[in-house]
Amino acid sequence: MQLKEAFLELIRRAATDLPPDVEAVLQKAYEKEDDNTPAKNVFATILENVKLARKQSTPICQDTGSLVFYIDYPEGGKERDYRQAIEWATVEATNRQYLRPNSVDPVTGKNSGNNLGVNAPYIHFHQWDRDEVRVRLLLKGGGSENVGSQYKLPHPPLNAGRDLKGVRKVVIDAVKNAQGLGCAPGTIGIGLGGGRDTSYSLSKEQFFRKIGQRNQDPELARFEEQLLEELNQLEIGPMGFGGKTTVLDVFVGKQARHPATYYVSVSYNCWAFRRKTMTIKNGEVRYDD
């Protein structure tokens, strides 16, 4: 398979085929809700939609999001080659209705119609020592992007200081403020430390973890479990209709901070958590969730 076609297939899978770990946790959430409640009906609709989209190869959600790529490539690889392949695949995926045109110029207001634009798709490049290429793709919906937030600790309104206790408070606040607006139940990515830009970036990169995959740091792993349990006590429920599942999972990442700053970035991913990975080795392409 040519590189550009491999990218097209990656985009198709991301837009139409929800990862099995996400589908499984949605199924569990369905089983937990009481019969004849709006929450139960929402989960039933979601699960039916996921199956239909996979079968028909049509977008799970019409907001096919912004495309964010993370590429790790071996020495000798050319960024230009990957970029060209991605641009071709993006235009073709739009022509085939795997993607909705979602790239708008903020000055002219014009939609490019093909999902290309300045920094669109956005590509994070990273060269590594392995002899294979790894491409990770996140389709990030706009509604859920709008409910993300960044806090600067200390945060006096909540009496939140510069420690995990303070982080816990602002995360509860962020998810409460999001209500159902990010298409709950969401998956929460949290970035601790860094500058304002890298903090958000770290929070988003957490979305390449699988549901239930805890941080390797035992303290952060415990913290993730605590937050998951507490956030689900908010009873915001799917779509904000009330219910037992408000978030599907919580992922926390940390990085060094400047002594004067302590940022907590909270990224919200809608229930339609669309991520796919592709590995290319010796010309062989392998897709993964």
Instruction: By CB under 8 A, name the binding residues for other proteins.
Output: 38, 41-42, 45-46, 48-49, 52-53, 56, 58-64, 97, 99-101, 111, 113, 141, 143, 146, 158-159, 165, 168-169, 172-173, 175-176, 179-181, 183, 226, 230, 233-237, 239-242, 270-272
What's the distance, CA 2 to chain centroid? 27
Going by C-alpha positions, the residue among 74, 70, 98, 77 that lies closest to residue 8 is 98
CA distance 201 to 199: 5
Nearer to other proteins, 13 or 134 (CB): 13
CA distance 265 to 3: 34
The distance of closest approach from Cβ of residue 195 to other proteins in the complex, given in angstroms and rounded to an integer, is 26
Closest CA to 60 of 25, 100, 89, 90: 100
Please report how close the Cβ of residue 187 comes to other proteins at its closest, in angstroms. Answer: 13
Indicate the residue among 262 and 271 with the shorter CB distance to other proteins.
271
Nearest approach in angstroms of CB 223 to other proteins is 11
43-68 in b/e form (b: 16+ CB < 10 A) is beebbeebeebeeeeebbbebbbbbb
CB of 213 to other proteins, least distance (A): 22
Residue with smaller CB distance to other proteins, 179 or 261: 179
By beta-carbon proximity to other proteins, the closer residue of 96 and 130 is 96
